Amino acid sequence: MASALSEKLSRLVKEMRGQARITESNVQDMLREVRMALLEADVALPVVRDFIARVKDKALGQEVVGSLNPGQAMVGIVNRELVATMGQGVSDLDLAVQPPAVILMAGLQGAGKTTTTAKLAKHLIDKRKKKVLTVSGDVYRPAAIEQLRTVTGQAGGEWFPSSPDQQPLDIARNALDHARRHHFDVLIVDTAGRLAVDEAMMREIRELHAAVKPVETLFVVDAMQGQDAVNTAKAFKEALPLTGIVLTKMDGDSRGGAALSVRQITGAPIKFAGVSEKIDGLEVFDAERHAGRILG
């Protein structure tokens, strides 16, 4: 961000020095700075409005108006609200079902679904000692099926073959059947993504969801999309009962606004962050650290 919010607020507070006390109109000025900072971080406008309304309620209480250091008090409120919003319900993957637990990956093409499928496989194999099978339902792009094969191998998981002449539903059912018979703990189903949301794609993934009954339905979204991520998130939320979000390409995004937007729009917890192209470039999402990034 061009200039950190905390810096801007302390500058503002310095200008207010000499006044007997902080007034409601001073609080409004500070809120304007907070709003600018969120927009600079590329948070979507409706999300900014909601967020500011919540912060305003808190700031108009004693906390800022009666404070000796109102700038710091405001930064504190914003920080706590960011952490509370983005960190709500954060948890590892839920696998508490009769195995195989199915994880369904959803998102646009290029969001990082295939890469994240392999990263999750590695996470589950290394950290949770699970036996993991992956399968690709992307029958439109043979290269995507091969890509999943390669990265699953790097993760130390097993890959279930599929081919472009098959129906995605049949592929998923066959993979699930294989996972059951060979006692896999987890089956991760990678799906086709389009460059933009379309009805055929949404119908297909809804059918897949109904067929494999996933315990986790993860929405994979590119953090660099910033506020544009909101429309995609809305469409996927309407189509599927999302259980979590994976924000990818966080390493290329210095602004950080997508996390707040997507969390608020979908209501689903952000479970993981993709931080590099490499197979181990996946971290459990840390709301506190991310709030620091947005605040600057």
Strand order in the sheet with 216-222: 158-160, 132-136, 186-190, 101-106, 216-222, 244-248, 270-274, 282-284
Instruction: Tokens for 39, please give them.
Output: 């927009």
Among 13, 31, 188, 275, binds ligand GDP (CB under 6 A): 275
With contacts defined by CB under 6 A, name the span among 81-89, 110-118, 199-207, 283-291 that binds ligand GDP.
110-118
CA–CA separation, 258 and 99 (whole Å): 33
CA–CA separation, 164 and 31 (whole Å): 53
By CB under 6 A, is residue 292 in contact with ligand GDP?
Answer: no
The minimum distance between CB 125 and ligand GDP, in angstroms, equals 18
Which residue lies nearer to ligand GDP by CB, 24 or 277?
277
Backbone φ, ψ for residue 101 (5° rounding): -80, 130
Among 109, 154, 166, 231, binds ligand GDP (CB under 6 A): 109
By CB under 6 A, is residue 225 in contact with ligand GDP?
Answer: no
Among 111, 121, 171, 212, binds ligand GDP (CB under 6 A): 111
Site for ligand GDP in 147-186 (CB under 6 A): none
Instruction: Provide the terminal-to-terminal Cα distance of the chain, rounded to the nearest Å.
Output: 6
By CB under 6 A, is residue 277 in contact with ligand GDP?
Answer: yes
Query: Which residue number is nearest to ligand GDP in terms of Cβ?
Result: 274
Helix (H) or strand (E) holding 186: strand 186-190
- By the criterion CB under 6 A, which residues form the site for ligand GDP? 107, 109-115, 193, 248-249, 251-252, 274-277, 281
